[in-house]
Amino acid sequence: MGIHEHVNTVWDRDILGPLQEYITIPNISPAYEDRWEELGHMERAVTLVRDWCAKRAIAGMSIDVRRLPGRTPLIVIDIPAFGGAPADRTVILYGHLDKQPEMTGWRDGLGPWTPVIEGNRLYGRGGADDGYAAFASLTAIEAVQANGGEHARCVVLIEASEESGSVDLPAHLEALGDTLRGTDLVLCLDSGCLDDERLWVTTSLRGLVGGLLTVEILTEGVHSGTASGVVPSTFRIVRELLDRVEDSQTGRVLLPEFHVEIPADRRKQAEDTARVTEPFASTMPFVKGAVPMVADPAEQLLAHTWRPAVSVVGADGFPPTNRAGNVLRPLTALRLSIRIPPTCDHARAAAALQRVLTENPPYGAKVTFDPDHVAPAWNAPTFAPWLDDSLQRASAAAFGKPALAYGEGGTIPFMGMLGDRFPEAQFVITGVLGPGSNAHGPNEFLDLGVARRVTEVLSYVLIDHARR
């Protein structure tokens, strides 16, 4: 049985069932569920993944669930070099198992904790982001060994706080000591793809400056007929504050600390990618008649990756519309999520945002901004010749087409952490989140065909890395 056959057999026989069970577990990331530890869902997910991995036929494998007080667990799987490969080089394979909240809007017959297979799609929260990663990583290593290949030492890290900005990971990395010694290749399965026809490699990631903006003007609600016209609305004050940050006509972020110079190679990459793919905006579920902010396909890719963008993702202080009386509300609180481009200094950007939102508040209102969700952006080092060749061969073998690269608009904080720790390492960030897969939203799905082929690619890259 070759690598292709091995990977497909394991996916069909051993992965589909446990992955569907994983989808049923509402192990929401700590940023969105304060009671994550007492509820026990995260522990259930960790146990499921750990037990599945422990049963794999992989020589010399050891598995440890690392625990630190008050923090989410970290699964660490250590696999020694195999087949005569050098023992002093380490490959990190990374994924996470925590999930985003449910979100509304799931279509009839689907739900966040209800695994449903339709054709080649497995629906449910977390299957594609990022529950499949542990299964795929172990299967790829197992396929190498079962087919007489060789691989360097592999360390598989599956964390449980990525959707919260990997807040627990620095402490775990400190506790790991020299466990990650010799790392010269990182394989990450937490990204996406622009189509299902080839391997897509992510070359950059946006960072995040998120936080809670709160505006208070009264100590309690007051009849709007009595107070309006004299007491300013907290919502209008919030609008004024947001106008300091974003041009409401164009969406351009006004703070210079959030902008960077787009490198010439990344601009060319966007132009090349735009020529061979559908416009990025065409993958968005626009309502009828709506248009994107940017028309040019290459500029859409750059806006998605190398320019900052403001989103308001939550609000407090508002009653439901069917319970909204004629009352001037005492406060408005908004959860802001601002994506920042690669190479942007996230700490400097967060400080600038906090300053501009809170200084000289309109009408002397009480304004606070807590930047409680800040994560670094990342720009990949240039592929070494051996890795570039390996990715092209692997994509051709698994997909039948050459690999392409693009920048991703999301955030994987661990990549920045590893880049700082291992500046000479090579990075392969890829994944299965293709058009319409809708991670974090309703109707999230995993494309099972892409997942199989990405798993196969990992095997080929591990072999090439050992032989280089």
**For residue 184, what are the domain limits?**
3-205+377-467
Give the CATH number for residue 331.
3.30.70.360
pLDDT at residue number 163: 95
Closest CA to 241 of 228, 257, 255, 229: 255
Q: Are residues 254 and 326 in the same domain?
A: yes
pLDDT one-digit tens code per residue, 274-311? 998 999 999 899 999 999 999 999 999 999 999 999 99
pLDDT at residue number 425: 95
Please compute, for residue 407, the number of CA atoms within 13 A of its CA located in the half-sphere on the CB side.
34
Torsion of CA 408, 378, 200, 2, to 10 degrees: -140
Q: Are residues 265 and 165 in the same domain?
A: no
Q: Are residues 342 and 433 in the same domain?
A: no
Helix, coil or strand: residue 113: coil
Which is it for the CA torsion 2, 4, 6, 9, positive or negative?
negative
Whether 282 is in a domain gets the answer: no
Low-confidence ranges of the chain (pLDDT < 50): none
pLDDT, mean over the chain:
96
Closest CA to 66 of 188, 169, 141, 185: 169
pLDDT at residue number 7: 98
pLDDT at residue number 414: 85
Q: In this structure, are residues 94 and 183 in contact, taking their beta carbons and an 8 Å threshold?
A: no
pLDDT at residue number 420: 86
Whether 283 is in a domain gets the answer: no
Whether 121 is in a domain gets the answer: yes
Torsion of CA 307, 313, 315, 319, to 10 degrees: 140
Question: Tokens at residue 409, please?
Answer: 């608009």
Q: Are residues 381 and 331 in the same domain?
A: no
pLDDT at residue number 125: 98
Strands 426-433 and 183-192: parallel
Q: Total structural domains in the chain?
A: 2
Instruction: Show Cβ contacts of residue 232 under 8 Å, excluding neighbours closer than 6 positions.
Output: 217, 362, 363, 365
pLDDT at residue number 419: 86
Which is it for the CA torsion 379, 385, 387, 390, positive or negative?
positive
Q: Are residues 196 and 225 in the same domain?
A: no
Give the CATH number for residue 48.
3.40.630.10
